[in-house]
Amino acid sequence: MEKPYRRVWQEVSAGEFEAEDHNSHINEFRQQHRHCTTPYDFIDNNRLDSTTPFTTPFTTPDIKQVIKNMKISSPGSSGINKTILKNLPDNAINRLTLISNSSFAADYPPIPIHTLSKTQLKKLQITQNKALRFATNQRYPYTMNTREIHEYTNTISVNIRLHQRPITTWEKLELLENQHFSRLKDNIENIRKFNTRFPSSLLSVARENEPNPIYN
């Protein structure tokens, strides 16, 4: 994943680092390709293909390998442990593959990242900060702090993006009068009771106002 990203930005910034307008060049590229980082309104698995590392779909062997590499841990209230997952029938593995690809095609992460700890959020933010410094040619000693870089490039911080993303998804489901949304909303208390490890983003975004951006 890192090499393709590095190659793209090298092409964008080639010969531009010493130019006075390199920031406008980078911002123009970001605007032209913003659609590549914007979540889709609906799921279409036809978007996935093997031509690029960013669109290659998951296969059933991939899912089996993920299960095989899982750490043995307490199953929690669900009672589902690694042994059960390793012995799932083929139709269940196929279903997991479809769910994973559907989440991938919609550009919505299949992992409940709204539950990330402060330490994990900080690690993600550090990665974003490094990418923005590289994109804006910020070398030590830096002339802009991380907040100024975010404002200059019109980039929201990681914690704000993770807060806004589920809100957008839930709002779309509610607008479309999705039957699954209604069921989830009606059973939110049960979800909170039996899924304490991964609380529903519907509950968390309903209770919280948008947090202050974290830049460091």
Q: What pLDDT was estimated at residue 105?
A: 79
The verdict on 216 and 119 lying in the same domain is yes
- Dihedral angle of Cα 156, 160, 165, 168, to the nearest 10 degrees: -90
| Percent of the chain clearing pLDDT 70 (strictly above) | 63
Q: What pLDDT was estimated at residue 60?
A: 93
**Given pLDDT bands bounded at 50, 70 and 90, which one contains residue 175?**
confident
The verdict on 32 and 79 lying in the same domain is no
CB contact at 8 A, 118 and 124: no
Paired tokens of 203: 């509950």
CA 87 vs CA 63, 83, 84, 96: distances in Å: 12, 6, 5, 13
Q: What pLDDT was estimated at residue 135?
A: 85
Maximum distance among all alpha carbons in the chain?
60
The sign one gets for the Cα dihedral 71, 105, 119, 199 is negative
The verdict on 61 and 116 lying in the same domain is no
Per-residue pLDDT tens digits for 179-196? 777 777 777 666 666 555
Give this prediction's pTM: 0.47
Per-residue pLDDT tens digits for 126-173? 998 988 888 888 888 878 888 998 988 888 898 888 877 777 777 777
Q: Write down the mean pLDDT value for the chain.
A: 75
Q: Which residue has the higher pLDDT, 61 or 80?
A: 61
Q: What pLDDT was estimated at residue 120?
A: 83
**Given pLDDT bands bounded at 50, 70 and 90, which one contains residue 89?**
very high
Q: What pLDDT was estimated at residue 90?
A: 93
The verdict on 132 and 215 lying in the same domain is yes
The verdict on 51 and 66 lying in the same domain is yes
**Total of domains in the chain:** 3
The verdict on 118 and 212 lying in the same domain is yes
Per the structure, the complete domain to which residue 12 belongs is given by: 1-38
The verdict on 159 and 59 lying in the same domain is no
CB contact at 8 A, 154 and 161: no
User: What does the pLDDT average to over 70-95?
Assistant: 84
